[in-house]
Structure 1
Amino acid sequence: MLLNSAQNNTEKQSDSVVLHNLQQHRIMFQSTASCLVFVTLVAGVLSDASTSTKDLKYELNNGNFMPAIGLGTSRITGADRVKDVLDKALAAGYRQFDTAAAYNNEEDIGNALEELLPKYNLTRNDIFITTKFSPWKQGENVTDALHDSLRKLKTPYIDLYLIHWPGAGAGVNKATANFTALRAERWQKMVKALKDGLVKNIGVSNYAVKHLRELLANDFGTKPAVNQGLWNPLYHPAELLELCRKEGILLEAYSSLGGTHDDNLLQNEDVKKVAEKLGKTPAQVLLRWAVQQNIAIIPKATSKQHLEDNLNLDFTLPDEDVSVLNGFPQKRNPFSEDTP
């Protein structure tokens, strides 16, 4: 089992300093030297490039902290491949790892972390694990699903546990399902898991505005800390971001680069022009676009170079370039928007 202690890494602040409270998410950088390094943020933009964004953390609405940049692991499967990618990620400085029951890699991630953490003089408390209850794969039993994830990941707690999708689970008659009641029951069980100490933070994924408003009206005393969803220059609904900021919910982006087998954004001429002008890669431009809005990101990568590049976001996108990216024609997200 991965090493554990009473204090989770989301609560350790002894070697860190809180810098700024901006848009309802305080931002913190870990000190890497004997003296603390202070920087200032102006409208969400780093003004001191000497402080690495790989140490950036957001304070969640419950006072816990979460790394702003994590490694997405969707479609990274197989014991050897998972171990190889996590080895390179830990070496590069990644401390957040995002998985899900639906990714079919929780067990391999648990085994890899158990072996690799000592190699880097790390313990369970030094990393942040996100996983997700996936209704279409696991049915509607949140409690059993959580215990299955805990077992596979070889950990006594999950740092962030998300409901992967607002739709009905496997075995539910979708034609007659009461989606509102199903979501409420799931959330009630998530809150119980939080109170029982099995998870440190809870949230949702792929929740559109209508789903979030429904949850907030009946949250059993606990708001979601995070809403993870599709977010990139081709899909960035302002109403969703505004609601999350108003309610103190951190928005976390997946598919920041366009998604698996979709390189339209990476090959976009406007993105490439910005990248060339700044001496960065198109991927770095797209990731910086999100971070500059105080949005957490979990880009997926498997090569050493891409893993390192995705953490190296210590630059600023000029306003005119942000405007170009913001102005891309918007797509729809049926997976989220069309779910009753």
Structure 2
Amino acid sequence: MDILNTKSQLESARNVHDLSSLNRLREAAYSKDDKALKEAAQQFEAIFVQMMLKSMRQAQDALADKESPFNSEQVKFYRDMHDKQLAQDLSSGGGVGLAEIIVQQLGQHDIEDYIPASVARNDGNLASLNRQRQLRTEQAQQTAEVLSSAEHRQAFKAAAFESPQAFVEQLWPAASKAAAQLGIEPQALLAQAAVETGWGQHVIHQGNGESGNNLFGIKANASWQGGSAAVSTMEFDGTVARQQRAAFRTYDSLEQGFADYVQFIMQQDRYQSAVQQADDPKAYFKALQDAGYATDPNYADKVMAVYHSDSFRSYLP
């Protein structure tokens, strides 16, 4: 009987490290079988624990005495068998917590205080994530009325400048005036406008073909009294980009667009941290991103990449 029990344990340990267990994990997730998912998750955790033990053993072997009888191949053989069984026992007896996380993640259970993977990929910045979710909800509600208007259906994005050089040259006067009010460098605002519009090649145009002069992606909501146009835009949910339709403010001139940007930033409490750091472009755009100005998790880095680029610098007066 003892021999049969030992054989059963060894077979169980070997099955844990069978690569087909990974496939069973995937199938269990789709089948929504909680028991099967839990068992497969424990097998996956056993694989992970064994890999950790194996790495530890390899480090130990590198420093071991080659002449020692405790470092023979026979000892290593039984030691590896023991490690496999230990990994199996750990995973089935409570484990290290990995199996539970897998079950929660793949099982899609509504568990209180459970942090989803999207938060972990966002460096655990719960405040920023919740703020962005709230902003997206508010924007969706506020733009619903704007999107219902028939005049927005024909809006589109098109080039408004012949080249990046023309983009910088034409916008420099308006950017300089707006930058002076904010206390920031005009080239910093131009770098942001370049990211928002693809160097002026994707500027919102109204149905009549006239440019909306919105260079900073400022959305229109129910409280906006000016013109607006609805187009498709890319928004991020954590690190996942999604296409959606949204309404944006339109202006009669580029100067009016810059002036509204300054007012938009300076009059909202959430952007005051950015305003206070306007003399440092990197800190300014990071503060804007943290306050929810853009959903792109790499927004500030993209703006600073343009700001520091040699080609951009060559366009400046």
Q: TM-score range by the shorter chain?
A: under 0.3
Name the structure where strand makes up a greater proportion of residues: 1
TM-score by length of 2: 0.20
Larger Rg: 2
**Larger helix proportion of the pair:** 2
The TM-score with structure 1 as length reference comes to: 0.19
